[in-house]
Amino acid sequence: MNATTVSPTASLATDASSSRVVSIDIFRGLTMAVMIFVNALAEVRGLPWWTSHAHAWEDRMTYVDMVFPFFLFAAGMSMPLAVTQRLKRNPSTVALCLHILSRVLGLLVLGFILANAEKADPAKMMIRGGPWALLGLLCMMLFLNVYPRWERFPAYAIVLRFIGLVGAVLLLALFRRTTHTGQTAWLDPSYPEILGLIGYTYLAVAFLYLLTRRWRWAPALWFVLLVGLCASSTLRLVPFPVRLPLYFWPFGNGAMACIMMAGVVTSILFLGTGRRPSPRFSIGIAAGFALLTLLAGAALTPLGISKIRATPTWSLYSVGAAILLFIALYWLCDLKRWTAWTFPLRSAGSNTLLTYLLPDLWYFLLVSAGITFFDSHWNVGAPGVIKSLVFTAIILALSALLTRSKVRLQL
């Protein structure tokens, strides 16, 4: 995810001639808000089937199954502009590649902390998993925070980042778990959580994009090829993607990479590679792209519809829905300048990584303190929905408050 250094207020005031597209931040913020809500809603019982993820054996998808793809799509939309801006500051391709690798590493570390917290063995670590994860996230936040300038102590940012880095390294070195065979082991790399999956996918798509970025049509071709990989893998014509670990083959079965690459294609349609296309042209071509993905998804329905199995239809339906939503936001926010309603989403869209981590910080804080009140109350039916809505509003408000207080995370 891209936590930009541009303030939410400034980004929403950008004029149409600027390189910035307001609707990208709003799309990201809206996705963030829905993610917080559905994650909280997952603990509520007695709700209809469409309010949670579809099971692996089911051939269907719900709106919840599209939240993660929307994150991937948003990351893809940010990629061309981020690459262009970084190359303007430093034309070195090597420096750009190192920056990409550092972003991926940061996402992986955060993902492994979140994924391994419940696997920690306190007897071997002298600390429970909850406090370990809470301290790990706080150390990573110290390291990743964008610090404002302080004339009286200019080096304070370096000191705080160093403290955060050393703390994170020590906590990772301290981690121990017990395997199902009773052996002592370090971090389990089998599932890097959502942030790690985004990191691996970002690495794969960035590699393809940088390799062929001089050709405007290349991302569309990569998208088609990745969809083909996903379909072939689902048909078991190409078995290797499901047998290789992500750290060796970050493309996976092609599903996540094709979604992110679709975001790259959509970004180019609206921003271009030189002169920005006209809004009417961009909207028309993007709508056509969305229609083609939806038709292709329908044609591949016999291969199944499943987020858990990462089928091509799930990928294509998610891409089509994401494009249509982005078109609507672009028309509302960039063309019509109707942005007042986006106020609750601004910090979530511009300070995304911080907003993403806030619910986890809250969860691990409660676990560390041994507080279970919220887990055992208002967790059935309508009261649970209301609780989830209130929790989402609180997290968004806290994100706005911290952003205003100059707490901003950036990979």
What are the tens digits of pLDDT across the range 393-411? 999 999 999 999 999 998 8
Mean pLDDT of 357-364: 96
What's the rounded Cα separation, in Å, for the pair 261 and 218?
A: 10
User: Which amino acid appears at position 380 of this protein?
Assistant: V
Q: What is the model's pLDDT at position 120?
A: 95
- Tell me how far apart the alpha carbons of residues 375 and 377 are, in angstroms, rounded to a whole number: 6
Residue 337's identity, in one-letter code, is: R
Tell me what the mean pLDDT of segment 181-191 comes to.
92
Q: Which pLDDT score, from 0 to 100, does residue 137 have?
A: 97
Q: With bands split at pLDDT 50, 70 and 90, how would you rate the model's confidence at 184?
A: very high
The answer on pLDDT for 189 being more than 70 is: yes
| Euclidean distance between CA atoms 265 and 317, whole angstroms | 16
In this prediction, residue 375 carries a pLDDT of 81
> How many residues does the structure list for the chain?
411
User: 111-123: per-residue pLDDT in tens?
Assistant: 999 999 999 999 9
Q: How confident is the model at residue 316 (pLDDT cuts 50, 70, 90)?
A: very high
Say how far apart CA 345 and CA 336 lie, in whole Å: 18
Q: Is the pLDDT of residue 199 over 80?
A: yes
What gap in Å lies between CA 268 and CA 136, rounded to an integer? 37
Predicted pLDDT of residue 226: 98
- For the residues 232-247, what does the mean pLDDT come to? 90
Does 56 or 201 have the greater pLDDT score? Answer: 201
217: how many CB neighbours lie within 10 A of its CB?
10
**pTM as predicted:** 0.91
* Portion of the chain with pLDDT greater than 70, in percent: 95
pLDDT at 274: 66
Q: What is the mean pLDDT of residues 168-174?
A: 96
Looking at residues 252-277, what average pLDDT do you find?
91
Band of residue 20 on the pLDDT scale cut at 50, 70, 90 = low
Query: What pLDDT shows up at residue 225?
Result: 97
pLDDT band at 161 (very low <50, low <70, confident <90, very high): very high
pLDDT, averaged across the chain:
91
For residue 17, is pLDDT > 60?
no
- Higher-confidence residue of 19 and 301: namely 301
Find out whether 110 and 192 touch, Cβ atoms under 8 Å.
no
Residue whose entry in the numeric block shows the structure tokens 């998610």: 318
The percent of residues above 90 in pLDDT, for the chain, comes to 80
Residue 55 phi/psi, 5-degree rounding, is -75, 160
Q: pLDDT of 320-353, one tens digit each?
A: 999 999 999 999 999 999 999 999 999 999 999 9
Contact residues for 14 (Cβ-Cβ < 8 A; gap 6+) = 20, 22
> Quick one: pLDDT at residue 298?
97
Element containing residue 185 per DSSP (H, E)? strand 184-185
Q: Are residues 253 and 242 in contact, defined by beta-carbon separation less than 8 angstroms? A: yes
